[in-house]
Amino acid sequence: MIKKEYNWTGKVILIAEDSETSRHYFSAALRRTGATLIWARTGIEAIESVRNNPPDLVFMDLDLPVMNGIMASKLIHEEFPALPIIAQTAHIQSGDAKDSLAAGCSEFMTKPISLDFLLQTLDKYLQ
């Protein structure tokens, strides 16, 4: 099986994630893509990061401290409506997918996220 090579050199991805395990996974998964990764540990940090240096894509955990990912996504989407936001969570609650899409997210994923699915989904928005 031939694996697709992803080249996102020059692209910036903001990853809002407070789990060290997930941070290591996403870092390793995206290392070879050439994308610049920016990290936020809370919803507030994600909003501030987008305002200070808008990325090409936001990868938003829904279960963040201080401000959850749904509220952060809503506020980011209000200011930057064209910015793709991909919601992801390990602790799925009833209505999370619907609420994240209503908040302006482009996609919704549940952890664990396979490497192929992660890369294919991000590629839709980073091409």
| CATH number of residue 71's parent domain | 3.40.50.2300
> Dihedral, CA atoms, 5, 123, 80, 31, nearest 10 degrees?
-30
Encode pLDDT of 23-62 as tens digits. Answer: 999 999 999 999 999 999 999 999 999 999 999 999 999 9
Per the structure, the count of domains in the chain is 1
User: What is the mean pLDDT of the segment spanning 1-15?
Assistant: 86
Question: What are the strands of the beta sheet with 36-40, ordered from one edge?
Answer: 36-40, 12-16, 57-61, 85-89, 107-110
What local confidence, expressed as pLDDT, does residue 1 receive?
A: 43
Cβ 37 vs Cβ 60: under 8 Å:
no
Task: Tell me, yes or no, if the pTM score tops 0.75.
Answer: yes
Quote the domain boundaries for residue 28. Answer: 14-126
The answer to whether residue 3 sits within a structural domain is no
The answer to whether residue 2 sits within a structural domain is no
Encode pLDDT of 77-120 as tens digits. Answer: 999 999 999 999 887 777 788 999 999 999 999 888 999 999 99
